Structure 1
């Protein structure tokens, strides 16, 4: 009997662990017109995420163009400005992971997470930030960067892991695309493994739920 119970418990935990990943909202800027410009102080929304333009190294603007540098289709060129994306404006709460693709050709870049500045060792190069951990207003965040040299600069992806409310990115010779925010799973399986009936507890009722549904075909 003990052996059977252990087997069922293992199966129940496996079901919970295999729950689908949390929702992800990605910004590819396809919903913004080519040639659209956003000046300092302007606000706009793209794919349900609110954004605002802030000053950086000069008085310029963020522009939507098709450069073929950071991604495909529409890309954003934050020319001497920084664009802050509000992850919470999706209605899904704080993100647990964010990422963006970039091409950089020089100049001074800027990045902030939750209003806290990330300091660049080489002023413009994201690469040396790989594997680093930085404090933010909502706790530490970890940066993972993959980067490779390309014509006229560097091509790469920045991933931020932690409690993320906002992300600000800007530069001088910087193009970004595919800005994504991943949110936590919303069902009980994430915080309570083995809770197969999702009542917030792991107990005998979960065993009954698994046994009762054994062999069922999922839609």
Structure 2
């Protein structure tokens, strides 16, 4: 049985999304796919429609495969740290953390959007975890009457995201795609998705 309160939101383009109500002010929609990767070392394609299963946004999505950094030298994982799950082709997803008032239309004006691009030297990292949970930031913005929506994104890392060679350049030409720099193109697609879909969240 779920140990969280579900929150349903009718998005005009994506359909009904089910997220997690984090507290009385904040809701979080986790693991929303923003693009699909057709094959290894291919440019991703932005998506604007979700399957019924993809509209259940209560769990974090996959992150890019990586060699995990051990937390043992730091005393282990932080309290509330989430386990990571990896998938090479399903890692392009994002999480929207928003004030409930914005989704309910209580705000008369659109509110700012902050996009969090996690660090890790393009080699490791994920947008979720105890350190990266954006709920406290959004909650504080509500308390200070300066609400903000935070979008945190995944993108391809290490050689999945940045490998470059002549073979990949030639292959990109066959598919009429820009070559290499997959990680940066992924980030660009995430920003384009935000630009298109976040106004419906009140942003």
Q: Tell me, yes or no, whether TM beats 0.5.
A: no
More helix by share: 2
- TM-score, scaled relative to structure 2: 0.24
More strand by share: 1
- TM-score, scaled relative to structure 1: 0.23
Decide which structure has the larger Cα Rg and report it.
1
